[in-house]
Structure 1
Amino acid sequence: MQVVEKGETYDLSYAKKAMFVVVLLPLLIMYTEAMLTPALPTIQKEFTINPNDVSWVLTIYLLVGTVSVALFGKLGDMYGKKRMFLVALGFYTAGVILNGFAPSFQWLLVTRAIQGFGMAIFPLAFSLVREEFPPSMVPQVQGMISAMFGVGMVIALPLGAYVTQNYGWRWTYHSAAPFAVLMFFLAWMILRESRYINPGKIDWVGVLLLTVAVVPLLVGVTRAPNVGWTARETLTLFGVGIIGTVLLALWERRVENPLLPLKIISSRNPAIVNLGIMFAAFGISMMSQANTYILQLPAPYGFGKTILQSGLLMTPMALTMLVIAPIAGKLMPKTGAKPIAVTGALTASAGLAFMSKYATTLSLGQFVGMISLIGAGITLMNISLINVLVFSVPPRMMGVATGSNSLFRNFGSTWGPAIAGTVMSTYYVLFHPPRAPAFVQIRIPTEEAYRVLFGGAAGVYLFLALLVLGVREVMKGGKIHEVEDGGEKEVVVE
C-alpha cells in the first residue's frame, strides 16, 4: 500500500516491517546491557580485580559509544544510514559474541570497546524512522521505541540475575548472541537504504578533538566519587576535557564539513532537546540509583528484595510505559508535542517531590505505584522531545542531529550515578549485616540521602518543564510542521 505525504511516496507495508525491526532493537540492547549489572560482582571475583577496575566494563562501553554515536551519525548522512546501521550493529554483535569468551579482564575490556561502537545503532535507527516512515506514523513509532527501553530493562534485570546465578556471567552474553545475530540479518533483509545522502569528507580532526573533549570528562565523572571531586586527577581530567571542548567548538565553526555542525545542533529546537535529554537522563539515573537501594536494602532501610524480585517489581512501570507511549504518539499530532512534554515533566517532578518526602514510609505497593506514575511522566517527555528533534532538522542532517542527541544523553547518564554515589557517601549510617563478622560494617543511605536524590530529580524535571516552553511547536491540530532542505513543509495527519 502506497501513501503520499509532503509530496513523498511511502510504502506502508514496508514501513510496518521496518517498524518491527526498530521496535525490537531496544529490547536487544537493554536485554544485553541490563543483564550485565547483576553479573559485575561475579566478573570481579573470576578475574580477581577490585570494584574500581570492574566498573571499567561499563565505562569503556560508554566512552567508545559516546564518540561513535557522533561519528556514525555523520557517516550515515554521508554514505547511507542503513549501511552505517549495519556496520554499527555488526560491531555490537561481534562484541556480544566475543565478550562471553574473553580469557582475561583485559580482553573483556577490548571486546566491550568493540561493542561500544555499536551504540550508534540508536541514532541511526531514529534517523531511518524519520526518513522512511510517513510523517504521520513517526510519533507512534518513536513512542513504541521509547516504551521498549523500559520493557527491555524489566526483562533483563531479573533474567540476568537468574542466568548469572545458575549458569555464570558468560551466559548472559551467550544467551544474547543469537538474538544479536538474528537482528542483524533481519535489518539486512528488511531495511532499505535511506533516501537522503549528504556526501562530503570526514572531519578527522573533529573526531580527534571530540575524543579529547569527551573521554577525559567522562572518565573524570566516573572516577570522582572514588578519588574525590577536588582530587588532582579529577581536576586534571576535567581541565583537559574543557580545553578539548573549546578547541572542538572553534574547529567545527571554521571547517567546511564539520563532524558536529554547530549551526544545526545549536539552533533553537535541537539545542533545547539536547539540553533537555541530558538533564532528563541525569534525573532518571539519580532516581534509579535511589530505587535500587530502597528495594534491595534490608528492613528497616528498605524492602529487602533480591535483584530478581526487584526486577519483577519494576514490571508495572514498564507496562505503564508500554501502554502510554504509543497512545501519546497517536495523540501528539493533534495536541502538540509541547503540551505532552510539559505534562510529562510536571508529572515526573510532582511524583519525585512526593517521593523525596515519603519514599521511606510507603508500603511496597505504594512505592511501585509511584515509580510507575513517574515513569509515565518521563515517557511522555522523552517521546515528545525526540519527535521535536526529528521534525526540526533537515533529513540530510538527521544522522548528525540524532548522534549529537545521543552524545548529550550519555553525558547525563554518566553524571547521574556519580552524583548519586556522592550523595549516598555523604548521608549514611553504618550497618552490621546479620551473621557477618563483628568487624564488618557497610554504609546504608539515610532518609536524607533519598530526600536529596528524589528532591534533586524533582527539581531537574521542574526545570525541564520550563525549558520545554521554549520549544517551537512542530505539530498541532492534526498538522506536522517539518524542516526540509528548502525550508518548512506542512503535513496533514488524517
Structure 2
Amino acid sequence: MNVARNNGTYDMTYAKRAMLVVVILPLLVMYTEAMLTPALPTIQKEFGINPNDVSWVLTIYLLVGTVSAAILGKLGDMYGKKRMFLVALGFYTLGVILNGFAPSFHWLLVSRGIQGLGMAIFPLAFSLVREEFPPEMVPQVQGMISAMFGVGMVIALPLGAYVTQNYGWRWTYHSAAPFAVLMFILAWRVLRESRYVNPGKLDWPGALFLVWAVVPALVAVTRAPTVGWRAEQTLALFGVSIVGVIALYLWEKRADNPLIPLDIISSRNPAIVNLGIMFAAFGISMMSQANTYIFQMKPPYGFGKTILESGLLMTPMAGVMLVVAPLAGKLMPRIGAKPLAITGALTASAGLALLSQYATQLSLTQFVALITVVGAGITLMNVSFINVLVFSVPPRVMGVATGANSLFRNFGSTWGPAIAGTVMSTYYILVHIPQIPVPIKIPTEKAYEVLFGTSALVYLFLALLSLAIVEVMKGGKIHEVENEGEREVEVL
C-alpha cells in the first residue's frame, strides 16, 4: 500500500517492515551494554586490574561513541543514511564479536572502542524514520524506539547477572554476537537508502576540533569522582576542553560545509531539545544510580535484592513505558508534543520529589510504584522531545541534527554518575558487615535526598524549558520542515 504525500509517496508495506528493524535495535544495544554492568567485577578480577582501570571499559565506549555519532551523522547526510547506518552497525557488530575473545585488558579497550563507533546507529535510525515513514506514523515509531531502551535495560540486567555468574563475562558478548549479526543482515536487506543526500567534503578540521572539545571534558568528568573535582588534572582537562569548544565554534562559523551547522542546532526547537535532552540524561542517570543502591543495599539501608531481583523489580516500569511511549506517539498529533512534554516532565519531577523525602521509608511495593510513575513521565517527555526535533529540521541535515542530539545526551549521561558518585562519597556512614574485614561506606538518607531532589529540580526546569517549544503538531495536523520550506500534513 502506498500513501501519497505532497513531496512524494510513502510505501506503507516497507514502513512496517522497516519499523521492526529500528524498533528491535535498542534491545540489542541495551542488551549488550546493560549486561556489562554486572560483569565488571569479574572482568576486573580476570585481568588483575583496579576499579579505576575497569571503568575505562565504559568510558572508552562513550568517548568514541559521542564523537562518532556526530561525524557519521554528517556523513549520512552527505552519502546516504542507510550506508552510514550499516557502517555504524558493522562496527558495533565487530566490536561485540571481538569483546568476547579479548586476550588482554588493552585488547578489550580497543574492541570496546570499535563497538563505540557504532553508537551512530540511533541518530541515523531516527533520521531514516523521519525520511521514509509517513509523517503520521513517525511519532508512534519514535515512541516505540524510546520504550525499547527501557525494556532492553530491564531484560539485560538480570540476564547479564545470570550469564556472568553461570558462564562467565565473555558469554555476555558471545550470546549477543548472533543477534548483532542478524540485525546487520536484516538492516541490509530491509532498509532503503534515504531519499535525500547532501554531497560535499567532510569538515575534517571540524572533526578534530570536536574531538578536542569533547574528549577532555568527558575524561575529566569520568575521572573527577576518583581524583577530585579540584585536582590539577581535572581542571586542566576542563580548560583544554573549553579552548576546544571555542576553536570549534570559530571554525564552524566560517567553514563552507561545517560538521555541525550552527544555524541548525542553534535554532529555537533544536537548541531547546538538545539542552533538554542533556539535562534529562543527567537526571535519569542520577536516579538510576540511586535506585541501584536502594535495591541492593542490605536492610535497613535498602531492600537487599540481588542484581537479578533488581532487574525483575523494574519490570513494571518497563511495561508502563511500553504502553506510554507508543500511546504518546498516537495522541501527539492531536494533543501536541509541547503539552505532553510538560506533563511528562512535571510527572517525573513530582515523583522524584516524593522519592527525595521518603525513598528509604517506603515499602518495596511503594518504591517500585513510584519509580514506575517517574519512568512514565520521563518516557512521555523523551518521546515528545525527539519528535519536536525531527519535525523542526529539514531532512537534508537530519543526520547531523540527530547526531548532535546524541552528543548532548551522552554528555548528560556522563555527568550523572559522576555527580551521583561524588554525592554518595560525601554523605555516607561506615557499616561493619561480619563477612567483610573492613567497614564499608553506605549512602545515608541525605545522599538520596540530594540525588532524587536534584533530579526533581532538573525535571521541573525541563517543564519550564518546554514552555518555549514552538509546537510542531496539534489538532490532527503535523507541521514539518522540509528541504524546500515548511508545510502541514493532516493526520488520517
TM-score by structure 2 length?
A: 1.00
**1:296-311, aligned counterparts within 5 Å?**
296-311=296-311
Cα separation, 1, equivalents of 2:225 and 2:150 = 27
What amino acid is aligned across from residue 486 of structure 1 in structure 2?
E
C-alpha distance in structure 2 between counterparts of 1:405 and 1:435, whole Å: 46
What is the CA distance between 1:484 and its match in structure 2? Answer: 1.2
Whether 2:406 is the aligned partner of 1:400: answer: no
C-alpha deviation, 1:4, in angstroms: 1.4
Deviation at 1:436, TM superposition (A): 2.0
Q: Deviations over 1:44-71 (max 9, x none)?
A: 0000000000000000000000000000
Cα deviation, 1:372-426, whole Å, max 9, x if unaligned, reads 0000000000000000000000000000000000000000000000000000000
Q: Secondary structure at the match of 1:273?
A: helix
- 1:8-407 map, 5 Å: 8-407=8-407
- CA distances 1:120-161 after superposition (whole Å, capped 9, x unpaired): 000000000000000000000000000000000000000000
2:466 is aligned to 468
Secondary structure in 1 aligned to 2:481?
A: strand
From 453, 478, 487, the equivalent of 1:455 is 453
Name 2:479's counterpart in structure 1.
481
Q: Deviations over 1:14-40 (max 9, x none)?
A: 000000000000000000000000000
Shift in Å, 1:241: 0.5
In the TM superposition, residue 256 of structure 1 has moved relative to its aligned partner by 0.3
CA distance in 2, matches of 1:106, 1:441: 33
Instruction: Determine the C-alpha separation between the residues in 1 that align with 2:433 and 2:323.
Output: 40
2:488 is paired with a residue whose SS is strand
Whether contact under 8 Å (1:353, 1:458) holds in the other structure is yes
Unaligned 5+ segments in structure 1 are none
Contact map agreement 1:6 1:490 (CA 8 A) in 2: no
1:317 and 1:371 in contact (8 A); partners too = yes
- 8 Å Cα contact 1:216/1:240 also seen in 2: yes
Equivalent position of 1:446 in the other structure: 444
Alignment partners' CA distance in 1, 2:309 and 2:187: 34
Deviation at 1:5, TM superposition (A): 2.4
RMSD over aligned Cα, in angstroms?
A: 0.5
Deviations 1:416-459 (A, max 9, x none): 0000000000000001123222xx11110000000000000000
Distance 1:77 1:236 in 2: 35
1:415 matched to 2:381:
no
- Aligned equivalents of 2:6 and 2:471: distance in 1? 18
3-state SS of 1:150 partner: helix
Counterpart CA distance in 1 for 2:436 and 2:457 is: 39
Q: What is the CA–CA distance in structure 2 between the aligned matches of 1:245 and 1:308, rounded to whole Å?
A: 42
8 Å Cα contact 1:213-1:242 kept in structure 2: yes
One-letter amino acid matched to 1:175: S
- Aligned to 2:34, what secondary structure does the other structure show? helix
- Verify the 8 A CA contact 1:5 1:135 in the aligned structure 2: no
User: Over residues 319-358 of structure 1, what are the superposed CA-to-partner deviations in whole Å (9 max), with x where a residue is unaligned?
Assistant: 0000111100000000000000000000000000000000
Matched residue type, 1:84: M
CA distance in 2, matches of 1:223, 1:454: 23
2:341, 2:220 → 1: CA distance? Answer: 32
> Counterparts of 1:443 and 1:436 in 2: how far apart (Å)?
12
In 2: Cα distance, 1:429 partner to 1:435 partner: 18
Q: In structure 2, give the amino acid aligned to 1:186.
A: L
Matched letter for residue 44 of structure 2: Q
CA separation in 1, counterparts of 2:30 and 2:6? 35
Q: Which digits, 9 at most, give the CA deviation of each residue in 1:99-124, with x for residues without a partner?
A: 00000000000000000000000000
Cα distance between partner residues in 2 of 1:448 and 1:6: 57
SS of the residue corresponding to residue 429 of structure 1 reads strand
Distance 2:248 2:480 in 1: 29
Q: Determine the C-alpha separation between the residues in 1 that align with 2:407 and 2:342.
A: 23
Q: Residue 379 of structure 1 aligns to which amino acid in structure 2?
A: T
1:458 counterpart SS class: helix
What SS does the aligned partner of 1:193 have?
Answer: coil
2: distance between equivalents of 1:139 and 1:214?
A: 31
Could you tell me how far apart the structure 1 residues matched to 2:16 and 2:140 are? 12
2:377 and 2:33 map into 1 onto residues whose CA distance is: 24
**Identity over aligned residues, as a percent?**
80
Structure 1 CA distance, aligned partners of 2:230 and 2:7? 57
Q: Distance in 2 between matches of 1:468 and 1:130?
A: 22
Q: Distance in 2 between the 1:180 and 1:307 partners?
A: 25
Number of positions where the alignment pairs a residue of Structure 1 with one of Structure 2? 492
